[in-house]
Amino acid sequence: MSKVTHTHTDSEGRIITHTHDVDDKPAHGHYHSPEEKTRQINRLAKAAGHLQHVKGMIENDEDCADVLIQLSAVISALQNLGKEIINEHITHCITHAVEDGDMTAIEAFRKAISRFL
């Protein structure tokens, strides 16, 4: 078993380096910076709060057009977060999977993209 070190930059240009063990089976290290995770979780929490507001609008019999506009904003926020996660996964996880020859991770990502789109 040997060690492999990967280096990449996060969305804010900081250099991230991590090391993982590699044996005979392909497997890439799966690591996400705490800052990136926090940012994504915060965006998700905002979308959840916005969705709760839409629920309240429906409960209060607010205008359907207004509800649809707000619901569209929630959907857009979730799609944008998904696009960011896809970008991070490509630039980090899939890059490492390719370097490590991990075709299982690549196939799993392909299936995930198919479901997301």
- Give me the residue spans of the domains in the chain: 33-116
The pLDDT tens digits for 10-55 are 556 565 655 655 444 444 556 678 888 999 999 999 999 999 999 9
Q: To which CATH superfamily is domain 33-116 assigned?
A: Metal-sensitive repressor, helix protomer (1.20.58.1000)
pTM above 0.95, yes or no: no
pLDDT value at 95 more than 90: no
Q: Which residue has the higher pLDDT, 67 or 36?
A: 67
pLDDT of residue 113: 93
Backbone angles phi, psi at 17, to 5 degrees: -125, 135
Q: pLDDT averaged over the chain? A: 82
State how far the Cα of 63 lies from the Cα of 40, in Å rounded to an integer: 31
* CB-based contact 90:113 (threshold 8 Å): no
pLDDT value at 69 more than 90: yes
CA dihedral 13, 114, 48, 89 (to 10 degrees): -20
- Strand runs labelled E in 12-98: 15-22
